Amino acid sequence: MHGRVKVRTTEEERERKRKEQALKVRAYRAAMGRIQAKRAAGELDDEMLSLTVQILQRNPDVTTLWNIRRECVLEKLSKLSKEAEPQQPEPAGDQEQPEEKNEKEAAPQPEDRAQSVFRCELDLTEQCLMVNPKSYNAWHHRCWTLEQNPLADWQRELHLCNKYLKFDERNFHTWDYRRYVTEKAGVPAAQELDFCTEKIKVNFSNYSSWHHRSLLLPELYPNEQRDRPMSEEKLKQELEMVLTAAFTDPNDSSAWFYQRWLLGSGAQLDRAPKVAAFRLQSKGAVLALDKPTPDLGELNIELVAGEQKVTLSPWLPVDSGRTTWKCQLPFDYQKNSTYTLKLTDQELNLLPLPGTEDGAFYFAPPHAAASCSQELLSELKTQLQSCLDLLEYEPDSKWTLLTSALLMRAIDVSANHAKNLEHLGKLEKVDALREGYYKDLAARWTLELELAKWPQAPGFPRKFELADEVSLASLPYGQYLIIADELNMATKLREELGNRVPKTFSELKL
Amino acid sequence: MDFTTFVKPSNGSGDANGGAQTLQFWKHVEYIENHGKQEDDYEYCMTEFLRMSGIYWGTTALDIMGQLDRLERKYIIEFVKRCQCPTTGGFAPCEGHDPHLLYTLSAVQILCTYDALEEIDCEAVVRFVVGLQQPDGSFFGDKWGEVDTRFSFCAVATLTLLQRMKQSIDVEKAVKFVLSCCNQTDGGFGSKPGAESHAGLIYCCVGFFSLTNRLHLLDVDKLGWWLCERQLPSGGLNGRPEKLPDVCYSWWVLASLTIMGRLHWISSEKLQQFILSCQDAETGGFSDRTGNMPDIFHTLFGIGGLSLLGHSGLKAINPTLCMPQYIIDRLGIEPQRLGRP
């Protein structure tokens, strides 16, 4: 039960209500009893349909009654299809024909009768949806009915969606139904996008419309490199549109969520893992992946040096998150050979490990931002300026603080890092409920930058050093550090992180 | 009309008095205990179509409060047994209704709580669940063909509790289907592919991945951010952006964040205040929002939420299966959870 306000009433009123409800209970029980008796007797007839209507109109959540209606519908359809089976043509004279035609007009054809069966179900679901527009059962029954009908009128259903979305533009049932109907009706994606644009123009604060839009755009304007959700040109237009929306009401979150998605990488959840770091020595190897991967079987990890080819296996997990793995296969390391790590979809050249004659490694820092064309860059800069202007007037505006930081990252991650941390620090205060989130985000951004700088640092990759002033609430991307022998950080930070300090190569004792 | 009406505030702004509330422990026990006693009560009668779940909500809440013995174990087990469909093996919400995955999970949860799985034909339940899986990996709720990620959760949760995840359903396909319901925009999940993200369904999908040991498939940073943005100034959480806070959504979000190791991304203290403000101090029970009518559903999620937040006097609850942790331990089940970064 949702949204029912508790109302205090007098004893008199309560008594009246009690009596009224007692009658309703009696009527419900009588109807249910009759329905169950009829069902047991196999009486799937018109009386059954009207008995279920009485209850469903008040309470569309009684699933079983919808099931019974479906049984009735199937029964009726099966009778009608028997009637419609072609009968032996009667040997009739010419004069008799007009009379027969008249008869046919008087009694509806089985097909028309079938349509009226469907109509009856559709009408009932509409009545029920008026009572409860979020009834899973009523929506499902509508879909089921249409699926039974080869002559279903999908255009009519599309109009119904338009009507219902006017009542409530956030009803996710209606939006789901709309996606189902547009597919059935063959509505082109471009036309849907226009509908969506209209909806957003009427009300910017409409997460459901923005969501619908996010499904259509990647399909209509694909991004070839797949490092952004859609083509750069379209992305630029979308950024313009969404910022206008966001500025109309900066406290409404819908447009800001959409904007963050636009600025993101467009990465697919089911993409294959990439190698983050790898280190090899004669006693074995360690492999870190950029995302958790519980099974390395499909990666087919091989080490190639000239003619020499070794399949590395078996792999044992190093961390519970399954991003880091070790392989204790003894290996005849040749310091003068060039080694390549071959995986199903990647081929990586290893570099000799400095300062030793036993070992090679690979390292690829996490990607912080996608590449950017000049046009897109200038749009991002314009947007950033608008955000910074707004912050002059409203320095505590949460969404503007966050978005300007995201824009600065998209423009130049490292140049804007200090400023971005400042924004996150401010967000911890103005949006204190999510303090923990901003702290972890700051740690992530910091590690991304530190890891990007690491290959230029002295001692790389055997030593990783965090300056004393670096403050972190957590240490994400820990798996990237597995190739180091030594992690240097302030004692205070080490104590704070406790058992979350990542493992090093030397600790693995291969 | 000559009667006076008095409406309590219902703006989701938390406790109207501003003071911190304490848990009305015994009121809630009484509320749940009395829930099934008035069979002619209008609300009770009109909700018979979900009775099995109602019993699961009540027994679980009472067990978390250490008061399970207030309900008649024998009577409840007999009721559950009568609801198993002899033909399909699935459970109906009550006698005279049809079996469905939703109530099958509730029935199995109740029997696990009472350590009474041997009372029913478990193999028949497995057959029912397996028979509802579709070629694309999704699950029907019953034979009438509704597809929803809720049913994917119900299927794996039921099989997990029956210790029959292996050699029953096609887990790979089931995973693939749920993954196809993930939204790129926010990392969340809806009821079917393309459906808007919704905290209730996110809970089902995160729970599904927890039970299938595939939490690595989630975009934890993206989804965790969207989930922590559900917390509103009142401390309560909503189910989608720009919606009102609700005790049940507080549970869906809180449990998902806990499974993902990101509970620290919201304010536990403020959430606890909100949940406590939704207690009905007169009758006991929790409502969806401050000042609304309590019901048994929100009572479980109120108590469950407080347990996850570590409220004293309550037993620990498992965030994936929404059952007391000691029962999950007794069954030897370990749903996957991610660590804090």
The CATH number for B127's domain is: 1.50.10.20
CA-nearest residue of chain B to A432?
A: B267
CA-nearest residue of chain A to B9?
A: A5
- From A28, A70, A321, residue closest to B45, measured CB to CB: A28
- From A2, A62, A267, residue closest to B49, measured CB to CB: A62
Q: Is residue B20 part of a domain?
A: no
pLDDT digits (tens, 9 = 90+) for B131-181: 999 999 999 999 999 999 999 999 999 999 999 999 999 999 999 999 999
Of A164, A159, A153, nearest in space to A130 by CA: A164
Total of domains in chain A = 2
Greater confidence (A368 vs A359) lies with A359
Q: In degrees rounded to 5, what are phi and psi of residue B131?
A: -65, -15
**Tokens matching residue A210:** 């923005």
Distance CA B50, CA A161 (A): 29
Taking an 8 Å cut-off on Cβ atoms, the answer to whether B265 and A218 are in contact is no
CA-nearest residue of chain A to B297?
A: A1
Taking an 8 Å cut-off on Cβ atoms, the answer to whether A252 and B197 are in contact is no
Q: Is residue A136 part of a domain?
A: yes
In the predicted structure, residue A250 carries a pLDDT above the cut 90: no
Task: Name the residue range of residue B137's domain.
Answer: 25-30+46-331
- From B224, B242, B295, residue closest to A254, measured CB to CB: B242
Furthest-apart CA atoms within chain B: distance in Å: 67
Number of CB atoms found within 10 A of residue B143's CB: 15
- From B144, B195, B241, residue closest to A207, measured CB to CB: B241
Taking an 8 Å cut-off on Cβ atoms, the answer to whether B198 and A67 are in contact is no
Q: In degrees rounded to 5, what are phi and psi of residue B139?
A: -125, 140
Q: CB neighbours of A360 closer than 8 A, spacing ≥ 6? A: A279, A280, A333, A339, A350, A351, A352, A353
Taking an 8 Å cut-off on Cβ atoms, the answer to whether B266 and A7 are in contact is no
Taking an 8 Å cut-off on Cβ atoms, the answer to whether B45 and A29 are in contact is yes
> What is the predicted pLDDT for the residue at A306?
81
- From A25, A229, A476, residue closest to B341, measured CB to CB: A476
> What is the predicted pLDDT for the residue at A308?
83
Rounded to 5°, angle at Cα A175 from A174 and A178: 85
Q: How confident is the model at residue A2 (pLDDT cuts 50, 70, 90)?
A: confident
- From B184, B198, B228, residue closest to A266, measured CB to CB: B184
Span A418-441, average pLDDT:
97
**Residues A253, B226 contacting (CB under 8 angstroms):** no
pLDDT digits (tens, 9 = 90+) for B189-230: 999 999 999 999 999 999 999 999 999 999 999 999 999 999
ipTM: 0.93
Select from A119, A134, A152 the last residue of a domain.
A152
SS3 category, A235: helix
Select from A363, A379, A410 the last residue of a domain.
A363
From A292-306, B271-285, B325-339, the region with the lowest mean pLDDT: A292-306
> What is the predicted pLDDT for the residue at A341?
94
Span B20-29, average pLDDT:
92
A13 Cα to chain B: minimum distance (Å): 7
SS3 category, A466: coil
In the predicted structure, residue B8 carries a pLDDT above the cut 80: no
Q: Is residue B8 part of a domain?
A: no
Taking an 8 Å cut-off on Cβ atoms, the answer to whether B97 and A218 are in contact is no
Q: Is the preceding omega at residue A461 within 30 degrees of 0, hence cis?
A: yes
Total of domains in chain B = 1
Q: How confident is the model at residue A91 (pLDDT cuts 50, 70, 90)?
A: low
Distance CA A427, CA B267 (A): 14
Q: Is residue B71 part of a domain?
A: yes
Taking an 8 Å cut-off on Cβ atoms, the answer to whether A10 and B4 are in contact is yes
* Strand positions, DSSP E, chain B: 6-7, 317-318, 323-324
> What is the predicted pLDDT for the residue at A282?
87
Q: Is residue A37 part of a domain?
A: yes
Q: Is residue A102 part of a domain?
A: no
pLDDT digits (tens, 9 = 90+) for B313-330: 999 999 999 999 999 999
Among B102, B144, B277, the strongest candidate for a mutation testing the A interface, having the largest count of A CBs within 10 A, is B144
B261 Cα to chain A: minimum distance (Å): 12
Q: Is residue A134 part of a domain?
A: yes
Distance CA A98, CA A69 (A): 39
Average pLDDT, chain B: 93
In the predicted structure, residue B5 carries a pLDDT above the cut 80: no
Task: Name the residue range of residue A320's domain.
Answer: 275-363
**Chain A CB contacts of B92 below 8 Å:** 64
> What is the predicted pLDDT for the residue at A322?
86
Of A39, A207, A57, A75, nearest in space to A132 by CA: A57
Q: Is residue B36 part of a domain?
A: no
Select from A363, A381, A404 the last residue of a domain.
A363
DSSP letter string, A132-175: -TT-HHHHHHHHHHHHH-TT--HHHHHHHHHHHHHH-TT-HHHH
Span B234-247, average pLDDT:
96
A44 Cα to chain B: minimum distance (Å): 16
Q: Is residue A191 part of a domain?
A: no
Locus of tokens 């049940």: B248
> What is the predicted pLDDT for the residue at A89?
58
Q: Is the preceding omega at residue A133 within 30 degrees of 0, hence cis?
A: no
Q: Is residue A485 part of a domain?
A: no
The CATH number for A21's domain is: 1.25.40
Distance CA B43, CA A216 (A): 43
Average pLDDT, chain A: 90
Distance CA A445, CA A402 (A): 13
Q: Is residue A461 part of a domain?
A: no
